[in-house]
Amino acid sequence: MNELSKIKESVKRLKSNFSLSPEIGMVLGSGLSETFSSLVDDVEEISWSDVPSFPEPTVEGHEGKFISGRLNEKPVLIQQGRLHWYEGLSWDEVIYPIRVQKELGIEEIIMTNAAGGINESFSPGDLCLITDHINFSGDNPLRGPNNEAFGPRFPDLSHAYGGDLRENALIAAEELGVELKQGVYAMTSGPSYETPAEITALRTLGADLVGMSTVPETITANHSGMDVLAISCITNKAAGMQDQLSHEEVIQVTKKSNQKLGDLIARIVSKF
């Protein structure tokens, strides 16, 4: 079965499970999904294991399920968890959920992630609006034959993170009294954390924060014509800026930031 046929089969299963037709999609990163079920009305959910062609995530903090419902009266599809290249998956598998969200009819997508702060002014617990990215993974999820059904051969990433959506996010943050920083996100392949020398190099290149996701999904979403808004939760200072790094610390900090991020996304959605 080719990729498009697989996607259509997955979409058929999701449509049979959900009564709403979502308008806004979301991808929630490490530990960032716990509060969302309490904010969403008319909740319906399905595990990825019950959706054809979906691999299951293997990383702690990534639940691997879809939730459909209404957030501030807007029909939304919440992807709890994501897939990473470092899990040993192919790029087609990593970006598969984004292709499925597009086929469902979603045109605007909100992504969150946990990230290390490179910018000296960033502290654990801060929220940061991604304005641009640096792909430091050494590869691109669109490499290989291009299927015109998904998008053009050479997609433009000049405005990868939609300006209008970012403006809405800044207004929502101001209304809530939430400090929302802004910066350039750098993606590394993982799963090892970056070295202090790599962080110095990334800072020199203009990166403010670093992580192991989001960039392939953003590239894919733009390729498909979707508008992207991305927010990082700063969970730690990057390598060389603190003694050591651990995934346990990432999960702990994101759990503490869940309510603040959930309230912010709910307010942003109300402005779509």
CA distance to 5, 7, 61, per residue, from 113 (Å): 29, 24, 11
> Read out DSSP for the chain?
--HHHHHHHHHHHHHHH-SS--SEEEEE-TT--TTHHHH-EEEEEEEGGGSTTPPPP-STT---EEEEEEETTEEEEEEES---GGGT--HHHHHHHHHHHHHTT--EEEEEEEEEE-STT--TT-EEEEEEEEE-SS--TT-S---TTT--SS---TTSS-HHHHHHHHHHHHHHT--EEEEEEEE---SSPPPHHHHHHHHHHT-SEEESSSHHHHHHHHHTT-EEEEEEEEEEEPTTSSS---HHHHHHHHHHHHHHHHHHHHHHHHT-
Task: Name the residues annotated as catalytic.
Answer: 30, 62, 84, 86-87, 114, 212-213, 236, 247
